[in-house]
Amino acid sequence: VPHDQYNYQVPEAIIMGKVPAPYLNLENKPLTQRHCNSLLLGYFLRSVRDIEASTLDRLTIEEFFLDASMGSTLAERYVDWLADPSTQSAMRRSLAGILPPGSPISPESAIAVSPASLLSDSDSIFQVHVRSNLDRLREQLQEIEKQMLETTGTERIALARGSNSLERLITQFKEDRLIDFLSSSSWLPGYAFPQDIVKLLVRQTEYGRQMRLQRDREVGISEYAPGAEIVADGFLFTSGGVWFNSKEPDIRQYARCPECRKIDRYLESERPSRVCSRCGTALTGKFLPRFYIRPDGFTTLVTDPVQRPGRSRRPGPRASEVFLLEGAANDDFSLHSVKGVTVAEKQGGRLFLANSGYQFRGYHICRKCGRGFTKTPTGRTHKTPWGTDCSGQTKVLDLAHEICTDILQLRFHDCTPAAPSIVDRAFWLSFVSAFLNGASDALNIDAGDLGGTYHGWSENSYVGELVVYDRIPGGAGHIARIVDNLDQVLNTALVRVRDCKCPDREASCYACLRSYLNQSYWEELKRRPVIEWLGNILGKA
């Protein structure tokens, strides 16, 4: 594909290259807990006499969380099993045999966390992903059944279609494989699954019966946004709204500074400041505070016709660049062996991105049913995505995502020459892309596992720093490897842009800077500024 052009320029790197051993970050606490959960759940399921071993991999959500025909559900029996002192003693020995020295969690804490995070806690897998999801679907079904009693004719037929759709969605959810569900919910390790996903509920019964559409949340807030067209199994679907796990969405506000790129956030009821909290820049126009939600999912409209795709489709608007919310403190930075560079690592760093709609107009979302509109509806009621009447009020919202992961911050103000001011957006966007490619090439890290951004950090706000983040939730250890091999990464980044065969140094191509993830600003990516500055600080001008 076009994004692989670099590999065609240096095919020997693939043909003669070495395949490294898989790298596992043993300091990643969430990942370690997931592996402990896997061991504990495996021992439990093998101990259950009324389950055949050959069917364990086909166990469903309903069979594990909901079926109480034996007096209690399997999930409840798992909690009771782990509460038994003899079980705890045996599991402590088993976990001690797999947890390495210096593990971020102990066998005792793993045993305590596992049942609580699965079933007991208010934010457990059962409460957040099973009960709330089913409760919302059942509420919608009851709403339809109530309105069906009050209607006749074609409207009743339309409601019946919505009822069938909801019954199918409930059944489909219950029949999902338990292992797949727990992996995508980040309770079990799942290297083949995105760990933070959003789903698109296909409400058209005849098409959605076998469809389970989901995307990484960072991408899904754009590709599944209301109005976006999605091609699946040879059919064209249109997103019609957002999905809330709770009755009321958690609406908040944010403001982005155009100068230092600082993100300030507020509750919905707060009165936000019109100036940046860091540099004092006045916020006007598209930089005024905006309301946003973090969608739990997306949905089609049950009444929407499903079509065959044409030669083109309408994608959703691209999400914003990623912005740093919470990083390392200034005191955490230290000099690196690369002259003039200071670095800081932050576990549990936070980043923010938002989809503000076409031309920053946001999305008109009903705060009661989640239906999306291109403009505020004029009538007193509107139809919900499942076909009933709704009197909820719409609000203009952005669709946002917050990332919590390991981050690396690099400052170059002591280099000679110092990095350009963040006013030079083209340089920083190009440098971010070059650095990520350098890390991917030098350390054989999948390009999709890393992300990057930049922001201002000094008192005058214009001195920039590079922010690299691990796109694997919780971090997969890539950040520590980059720090240990920073000189190699920077030199490889220089080689990538300097030796590219694209004819114009004032532009870029798929082989040097462009990628799928940065396509929204391809026209701003330029090789020359990065070649000149990196060459100077590395002594290879």
Residues in the chain: 541
pLDDT tens across 310-341, in order? Answer: 777 666 678 888 999 999 998 899 998 888 89
Dist CA 381 CA 391 (whole Å): 5
User: Is residue 20 predicted with pLDDT exceeding 80?
Assistant: no
Burial bucket for residue 393 (CB in 10 Å: 0-12, 13-18, 19+)? exposed
The answer to whether 345 and 368 are in contact (CB under 8 A) is no
Residue 1 pLDDT greater than 50, yes or no: no
Beta bridge partners of 355: 399
Give the pLDDT band (50/70/90) at residue 29: confident
491 or 348, which is more confident:
491
Measured distance CA(75)–CA(65) in Å, rounded: 5
pTM above 0.85, yes or no: yes
pLDDT tens digits along 436-454: 999 999 998 888 889 999 9
Distance separating alpha carbons of residues 320 and 35, to the nearest angstrom: 34
Tens digit of each residue's pLDDT (9 = 90 or more) over 113-170: 999 999 988 889 999 999 999 999 999 999 999 999 988 888 898 899 999 999 999 9
Q: What is the pLDDT of residues 350-395, one digit of tens each?
A: 999 999 998 899 999 999 999 999 888 888 999 999 999 999 999 9
- pLDDT on residue 192: 54
Q: How confident is the model at residue 7 (pLDDT cuts 50, 70, 90)?
A: low
Q: How far apart are CA 147 and CA 143, in angstroms?
A: 6
pLDDT per position as a tens digit, 185-226? 889 987 655 567 899 999 987 776 677 888 889 889 999 999
Burial tier of 48 (Cβ tally within 10 Å: 0-12, 13-18, 19+)? middle
Q: How far apart are CA 218 and CA 153, in angstroms?
A: 43
Q: Is the pLDDT of residue 31 over 90?
A: no
CB 254 within 8 A of CB 264: yes
On average, the pLDDT of the chain sits at 89
* Ramachandran assignment for 285, one of left (phi > 0), alpha (psi -120 to 50 degrees), beta (any other): left
* Residue-wise DSSP of 155-170: HHHHHHHHHHHHHHHH
Q: How far is CA 331 from the centre of its chain?
A: 29
